[in-house]
Amino acid sequence: MNTVLSRANSLFAFSLSVMAALTFGCFITTAFKDRSVPVDIHVSKVMIKNVDDFTGPRERSDLGFVTFDIYANLQPIFDWNVKELFLYLTAEYSTKSNALNQVVLWDRIILRGDNTKLNLKDVKSKYFFFDDGNGLRANKNITLTLSWNVVPNAGILPLVMGSGHKSLAFPESYETAKSY
């Protein structure tokens, strides 16, 4: 500690250790918080086509088109340890060939400071709703759920599912739209 460099070294190392302890404190204050909020999903229109899926092995696969509304208030999730939320809408169903299918239809990133009240109407899916085969036609039970991945400043990144889901059925034949 006799020279300036030696004092500067001690000072900087001590500051970094204290900063690490503060970050751990930030993590501890929010580690056990429940990050789920109620979510409201409505579906307005559903349609199926049977088209060539060039990424799959078979001749033709079912392609679904879903138009939906989402209402959710995500404000309670944001605290001092949350940097952003990665939202995604999943469709879950079972067919004769596969017991469980999960397809992501739409996603969105919400940064801290953005509008946290979701009030989206007539949203079309961002990604193709292809089935592995022809299992979507006349499928009675397809469940849509909204989940999110919480990206923190310090700590674990949990995947949380919103409470509230919507079940819908696809029409019996191709190219005919079904309105709800």
**Binding positions for another protein, rule: CB under 8 A:** 1-4, 7-8, 10-11, 14-15, 18-19, 21-22, 25-26, 29, 79-81, 153
**In terms of CB distance, is 2 or 173 closer to another protein?**
2
CA atoms within 13 A on the CB side of 173: 1
Tell me the closest approach of the beta carbon of residue 150 to another protein, in angstroms. Answer: 15
Contact (CB, 8 A) for 132 and 98: yes
Rounded CA separation 164/177 (Å)? 25
Rounded CA separation 107/127 (Å)? 9
Tell me the closest approach of the beta carbon of residue 157 to another protein, in angstroms. Answer: 16
Tell me the closest approach of the beta carbon of residue 111 to another protein, in angstroms. Answer: 14
**In terms of CB distance, is 81 or 139 closer to another protein?**
81
Rounded CA separation 156/27 (Å)? 9
**In terms of CB distance, is 152 or 162 closer to another protein?**
152
CA 120 to chain centre: 15
Strand 142-152 vs strand 82-93: parallel, antiparallel, or unpaired? antiparallel
Tell me the closest approach of the beta carbon of residue 110 to another protein, in angstroms. Answer: 16
Tell me the closest approach of the beta carbon of residue 81 to another protein, in angstroms. Answer: 7
Nearest CA among 56, 66, 35, 54 for reference residue 160: 35
**In terms of CB distance, is 25 or 56 closer to another protein?**
25
Residues found in the chain = 180
Return the number of other C-beta atoms located less than 10 Å from residue 162's C-beta.
22
**In terms of CB distance, is 14 or 127 closer to another protein?**
14
